[in-house]
Amino acid sequence: MMLLAFDLLLAAGLLGLAVLVVAGPTLFVSLVAYTVFGLLMAVAWARLGAPDLALAEAAIGAGLTGAMLMLSYRRLLAIRPERTGQRLVRRSRLALPIALACTVLSAGLFMALAGLPEPQRSAGGDALAATAQSEVGNPVTAVLLLFRGYDTLLELLVLLVAWLGVAMVQAQARPSAPRPPAPVPLLDALLAAVVPGTVLVGGYLLHAGGQAPGGAFQAGAVLAAAGVLMALAGRLQPRARATPVQAGLLVLGLLVFTAAGLWPLAAGQPLLALDGLATVYAVEAAMTVSIALGLCLLFLGAAGLGSK
Partner 1 sequence: MAAQDLVWLGVAAGLVGLGVYGVLVAGHLLRKLLALNLLGTAVFLLMVVLGRRGAATPDPVSQAMVLTGIVVAVSATAFGLALMLALYRRSGEAALDDEAGAPDGDGRD
Partner 2 sequence: MAATELLPLWVLVPLLAAALAACLPARRAGQLALAVQLAALASWPLLAAAFADRGPLTVSLAGLAPPLAIRLYLDGIGLLLLGLVATVTTAASLHALATPGRAALRPAFWPAWLVLLAGLHTVVLSFDLFNMYVGLELLTLAAVALVASAGTVAALAAAMRYLLLAMLGSLAWLAGVAMIHAGTGSLDLELAGAALAPGGWVSVALALMLAGLLLKAAVFPLHGWLPLAHGAAPGAVSAVLSALVVKAALLLVWRVQLWLGPAGGADAAGPLLAALGGAAILWGSLSAYRQDRLKQVVAFSTVAQLGYLLLVLAMPSAVAWQGTTLHLLAHGLAKAAMFLAAANLVRRAGDPRLAALAGSDAAAPVSVFAFALAGVSLVGLPPSGGFLAKWLLLQGAWQAGAWWLVALLLAGSLLAAAYLFRTLAALLAHRDGAGQARAGLPVPRIAELAALALALGAIVLGFAAAPILDLAALPAGPGGAP
Partner 3 sequence: MSALLVALALLLPWLAQLFAGGRARIAAVVVAPLPLLALALLDAGEVRAPHLLLGLAFAVDGVNRPLLLLAGLGWMLAGAAASRVARAPVRFARFWLLVLAGQAWLLLAADLAGFYGGYLMMTLAAFGLVVHAGTAPAWRAGRVYLAMALAGEALVLAGVLVVAGSHGNAALATIAGDVPGTAGLLLLAGFAVKLGQVPLHVWLPVAHPVAPVPASAVLSGVLVKAGLLGMLRLVPPEAVAPVGLLALGLLTAFWGALAGLCQQRLKTVLAYSTVSQMGLVMAAFAALQASGPVVLPVLGLLALHHGLNKIALFLAAGGQVGASRWRGLLFALPALSLAGLPLATGQLAKDGLKSAIAGAGWETVATLALPASSLLTALLLLHAWSLARADRPADRGEVRPVHPAWPLAVLAGLVVPWAWALAHDGAADRTASALAAGLLPLLLAPVIRGALARWPAPVRPRLPEGDVLVLVAPAGRWLARLLARGLDAWSALDWRLPVAWPAAAILAAIESRLRRLPVAGGLLLVVALLAALALGG
CB 59 within 8 A of CB 295: no
Judged by CB under 8 A, which of 97, 178, 196, 197 binds partner 3? 97
Q: Is 238 in the site for partner 1 (CB under 8 A)?
A: no
Judged by CB under 8 A, which of 4, 182, 193, 266 binds partner 1? 4
Distances (CA, A) of 147 to 193, 214, 285: 39, 17, 18
Task: Tell me which stretch binds partner 2 (CB under 8 A): 24-32, 33-41, 218-226, 266-274.
Answer: 266-274
Q: Which is nearer to partner 1, 227 or 301 (CB)?
A: 301
Judged by CB under 8 A, which of 159, 201, 223, 283 binds partner 1? 159
Q: Is 109 in the site for partner 1 (CB under 8 A)?
A: yes
Distances (CA, A) of 189 to 183, 197, 215: 11, 13, 29
Q: Is 122 in the site for partner 1 (CB under 8 A)?
A: yes
Q: Is 92 in the site for partner 3 (CB under 8 A)?
A: yes
CB 297 within 8 A of CB 166: yes
Question: What is the amino acid identity at position 85?
Answer: G
Contact partner at residue 97 from partner 2, partner 1, partner 3, none, CB < 5 to 8 Å by partner kind: partner 3
Q: Is 200 in the site for partner 3 (CB under 8 A)?
A: no
Candidates 210, 188, 224; CA nearest to 301 is: 224
Rounded CA-CA distance 164/228 in Å is 19
Q: Is 139 in the site for partner 1 (CB under 8 A)?
A: yes
Q: Which is nearer to partner 3, 108 or 248 (CB)?
A: 108
- The CB-side HSE value for 51 (13 A sphere, CA atoms) comes to 12
Judged by CB under 8 A, which of 12, 101, 169, 173 binds partner 3? 101
Q: Is 94 in the site for partner 2 (CB under 8 A)?
A: no
Concatenated DSSP letters of 75-113: HHHHHSGGGTTPPPPPPPTTHHHHHHHHHHHHHHHHHHH
Q: Is 266 in the site for partner 1 (CB under 8 A)?
A: no
Rounded CA-CA distance 295/96 in Å is 38
Q: Is 102 in the site for partner 2 (CB under 8 A)?
A: no
Rounded least distance, CB 88 to partner 3, Å: 15
Q: Which is nearer to partner 3, 90 or 179 (CB)?
A: 90
Rounded CA-CA distance 111/90 in Å is 34
> Using CB under 8 A as the criterion, what x/- string covers residues 11-50 for binding partner 2?
----------------------------------------
Distances (CA, A) of 43 to 24, 47, 54, 67, 98: 23, 6, 7, 19, 31
Residue 175: beta bridge partners?
307
CB 282 within 8 A of CB 275: no
Task: Tell me which stretch binds partner 1 (CB under 8 A): 91-99, 230-238, 241-249, 263-271.
Answer: 91-99
Judged by CB under 8 A, which of 146, 221, 285, 303 binds partner 2? 146
Give SS3 for 233. Answer: coil
Rounded least distance, CB 2 to partner 1, Å: 12
Rounded least distance, CB 241 to partner 1, Å: 15
Residue 307: beta bridge partners?
175
Binding residues (CB under 8 A) for partner 3: these are 92, 94-95, 97-98, 101-102, 104-105, 108
